[in-house]
C-alpha cells in the first residue's frame, strides 16, 4: 500500500472513530438473565456459529479486496398504488427497497426494517448511499400498524425513519432484546415497543402472532456495543398462511432454518440475496444467493421474495450480480422464478393463497 493510501486509511479510521464517538458515544446496554446465547454482557449466535470479524479484518476487506463499482443512481420503474388496507386472507407485498417491505394482510399494515434515509449511516454526509429511491414515497404510505426491526445495524434500524413513523402513525415496534433502550431514547416515552428473545412471541390479535426467531448475524452501532443487543428474524403466524422475514443472516450449519421450518407451512418467505462478497468476510453474517435457495429448500415456502440487494452498496459484488447469481442458483436447484420472486423497487405483488401454488 502506498504512503498516500496509508494516510487515507489512517484518516478514514480517525474520522469514523470521531463520528461514532460524537454521534453515538455509548449505546444503552441490555441487562437480563444469562441464557444459552447471552452471557450477561453480550449475545452470541446459535451454537457459536459466528464471532465478529474485528477491525483488522474489516480494514483488510475495505482496502485490499477489489469491489465492483455501482451506478450513482437508478430510476425506479414502478409506481405502486398502495391500498389503505387488505382485508381478509389477501396478502399484498410491496418492495420498498433493501430489506424494507410493506406487508398487507388481515387488515394490518406491517413494515420490515424500514429505511427511507438517503444513507445507511449514523450521519447523512458519509456512508453507503441509496441508489434507488424508496419504492413508496413516505407520504403515500398507508396507516402503519406494526414495524419489525431485525437488528440494530444502520441499514435496518434507521432512527430518522422510525421517528417519522412514530410521529405519523404511532405503530407498534417489535424487535430483539436490548433495542428498546435506544428506541425509547430516540422515539420518546410514548412509543409502543415490544422486545422479544428468540422463540418468544407477541400476540397481535386472535388471528395473528409474531414470533422472533434466531439468525446467524451480529449487532453493533457504536465503538462500544458489539453484540450487546439481540438480532433475529420474524415469523408472522396468521390463519391466511405464515410469513417468514429472515432479517440479515448467514447460513451457518443450516440448523436454525430446520427449526424455523417447524412453524410452516409458509405462504411467503422474505430471503436476503445481497452483500455477500468477499465470502471470507461476509459468509458468517450474509448468505449468498445459492445459500438463500438452500434456505428456501429447507423451509419449503410456497413462495419466496428476494430482499437485501440493489439499494445500498454493502458488499463487493456489482449491483446486478445478486440477481444473476440467484437466477443461476434457482435453475440449478430446479426452483422456478415464479416460486422465488425478484421484485423491482416499487413493485407490488398479490401473493396467491396457500391452496393455489400454480401461478
10-residue mean pLDDT profile of the chain (359 residues): values are 57 57 58 92 81 64 75 93 94 98 97 97 89 97 98 97 98 98 96 98 96 96 90 96 97 95 97 94 93 98 97 95 97 96 97 71
Distance CA 330, CA 294 (A): 10
How confident is the model at residue 22, as a pLDDT? 47
Q: Please report the pLDDT score of residue 47 as a whole number.
A: 72
CATH for 91-350 is 3.60.15.10
Nearest to 158, CA basis, from 218, 199, 117, 188: 117
**Is there a contact between 302 and 342 (Cβ–Cβ < 8 Å)?**
no
DSSP class per residue in 35-52: BTTB-SS-B--GGG----
Tell me the domain boundaries of the chain.
Answer: 91-350
Contacts of 203 (CB under 8 A, 6+ apart): 209, 210
**According to the model, what pLDDT value does residue 67 have?**
80
> Using an 8 Å Cβ cutoff, are 49 and 253 in contact?
yes
Phi, psi of 296 (to 5 degrees): -55, -45
| pLDDT at position 55 | 62
CA separation for the pair 213, 230 (Å, rounded): 11
Look at residue 97 in the predicted model and tell me its pLDDT. 97
pLDDT at 14: 56
Sheet of strand 100-105, all strands in order from the earlier edge strand to the far edge: 192-196, 172-176, 146-149, 108-112, 100-105, 91-97, 348-350
Q: H/E element holding 105?
A: strand 100-105
pTM above 0.85, yes or no: yes
**Cβ neighbourhood burial of 305 (10 Å; 0-12, 13-18, 19+):** buried
Q: Kind and range of the H or E element at 303?
A: strand 303-307
DSSP state of 261: G
Closest to 231 measured CA to CA, from 244, 243, 214, 245: 214
**Helix/strand number for the chain, H first, E second:** 8, 14
Amino acid at each position: 500500500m502506498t504512503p498516500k493510501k496509508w494516510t487515507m486509511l489512517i484518516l478514514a479510521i480517525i474520522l469514523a472513530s470521531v463520528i461514532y464517538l460524537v454521534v453515538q458515544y455509548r449505546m444503552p446496554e441490555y441487562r437480563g438473565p444469562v441464557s444459552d446465547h447471552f452471557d450477561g454482557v453480550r449475545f452470541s449466535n446459535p451454537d457459536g456459529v459466528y464471532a465478529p470479524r474485528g477491525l483488522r479484518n474489516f480494514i483488510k476487506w475495505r482496502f485490499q479486496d477489489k469491489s465492483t463499482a455501482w451506478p450513482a443512481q437508478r430510476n425506479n420503474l414502478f409506481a405502486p398504488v398502495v391500498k389503505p388496507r387488505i382485508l381478509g386472507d389477501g396478502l399484498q407485498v410491496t418492495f420498498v427497497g433493501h430489506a424494507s417491505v410493506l406487508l398487507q394482510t388481515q387488515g394490518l399494515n406491517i413494515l420490515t426494517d424500514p429505511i427511507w434515509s438517503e444513507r445507511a449511516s449514523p450521519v447523512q454526509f458519509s456512508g453507503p448511499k441509496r441508489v434507488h429511491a424508496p419504492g413508496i414515497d413516505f407520504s403515500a404510505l398507508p396507516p402503519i400498524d406494526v414495524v419489525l426491526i431485525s437488528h440494530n445495524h444502520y441499514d435496518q434500524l434507521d432512527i430518522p425513519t422510525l421517528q417519522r413513523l412514530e410521529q405519523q402513525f404511532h405503530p407498534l415496534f417489535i424487535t430483539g432484546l436490548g433495542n428498546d433502550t435506544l428506541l425509547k431514547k430516540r422515539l420518546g416515552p410514548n412509543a409502543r415497543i415490544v422486545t422479544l428473545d428468540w422463540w418468544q412471541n407477541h400476540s397481535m390479535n386472535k388471528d395473528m402472532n409474531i414470533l422472533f426467531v434466531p439468525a446467524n448475524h451480529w449487532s453493533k452501532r457504536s465503538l462500544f456495543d458489539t453484540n450487546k443487543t439481540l438480532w433475529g428474524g420474524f415469523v408472522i403466524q396468521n390463519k391466511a398462511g405464515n410469513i417468514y422475514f429472515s432479517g440479515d443472516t448467514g447460513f451457518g450449519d443450516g440448523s436454525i432454518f430446520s427449526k424455523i421450518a417447524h412453524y410452516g407451512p409458509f405462504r411467503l418467505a422474505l430471503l436476503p440475496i445481497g452483500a455477500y462478497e468477499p465470502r471470507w468476510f461476509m459468509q458468517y453474517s450474509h448468505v449468498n444467493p445459492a445459500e438463500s435457495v438452500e434456505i428456501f429448500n429447507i423451509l419449503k415456502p410456497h413462495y419466496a421474495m428476494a430482499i437485501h440487494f440493489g439499494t445500498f452498496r454493502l458488499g463487493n459484488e456489482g449491483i446486478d450480480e445478486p440477481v444473476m447469481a440467484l437466477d443461476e442458483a434457482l435453475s440449478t436447484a430446479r426452483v422456478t422464478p415464479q416460486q422465488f420472486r425478484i421484485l423491482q423497487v416499487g413493485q407490488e405483488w398479490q401473493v396467491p393463497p396457500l391452496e393455489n401454488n400454480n401461478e
